[in-house]
Amino acid sequence: MSGDLPEARTPWDAAPLPGPVLRPQHVPLLARALGRYSSSESYWSPIDAVETCAPGLYLVVDVQGRIVWLGMAAGDQGVTGRVRKHLTEPWKRSVFHRVWVAPAYDQISRPTLKAAEGWAADALALRSRMPHRDWPPSTNWLSLVGRQDVS
């Protein structure tokens, strides 16, 4: 081993390796991560047709159904605005195929969204399966989302 650090990737580089294949049991984890802030069941959309101005979590898969992105969105344009921003990057435009959206109520705070994203990353085991990405910690997730049961 040379001891050299790999060069940092830029958003314009080639796509990183995808994560695991999205399974039906994974989808409810997005809404569960939001706890009492979940405003409806998760649903999917073609990546270029997502219309969700609500804040929330989203999970993007490639054409083979492999997870390529887990993120959170807040602000005026919600998930739609965040996904559109992603699609300005060539590798994401070529790899992103469908998006699963878990909408949240507008009252959700950014720290709560971050903790929910971290919890979802943990529940999906993405930290170990997609080590090139990082997600916020899920610290205080339970108290932030107000969930009583975590079984």
Longest dimension (CA), the chain: 51
pLDDT digits (tens, 9 = 90+) for 76-105: 789 999 999 999 999 999 999 999 999 999
With a CB cutoff of 8 Å and minimum separation 6, the contacts of 72 are 55, 56, 57, 58, 82, 113, 114, 116, 117
The answer to whether position 116 is within a domain reads: yes
For residues 147 and 67, what is the distance between their CA atoms, to the nearest angstrom? 26
In this prediction, residue 96 carries a pLDDT of 96
Backbone dihedral angles phi then psi of residue 28, each to the nearest 5 degrees: -65, -20
User: What is the reported pLDDT for 49?
Assistant: 92
Q: Is residue 112 part of a domain?
A: yes
Average pLDDT over residues 99-125: 95
Identify the domain containing residue 79 by its residue range. Answer: 27-130
Question: Quick count: other Cβ atoms within 10 Å of Cβ 99?
Answer: 25
Residue 110 domain-assigned? yes
Residues 6+ apart with CB under 8 A from 10: none
Cα separation, 132 vs 48, in Å, equals: 25
Supply the pTM of this predicted model: 0.85
**Domain count within the chain:** 1
- Residue 77 domain flag: yes
In a domain, 62, yes or no: yes
Is the pLDDT score of 1 beyond 50?
A: no
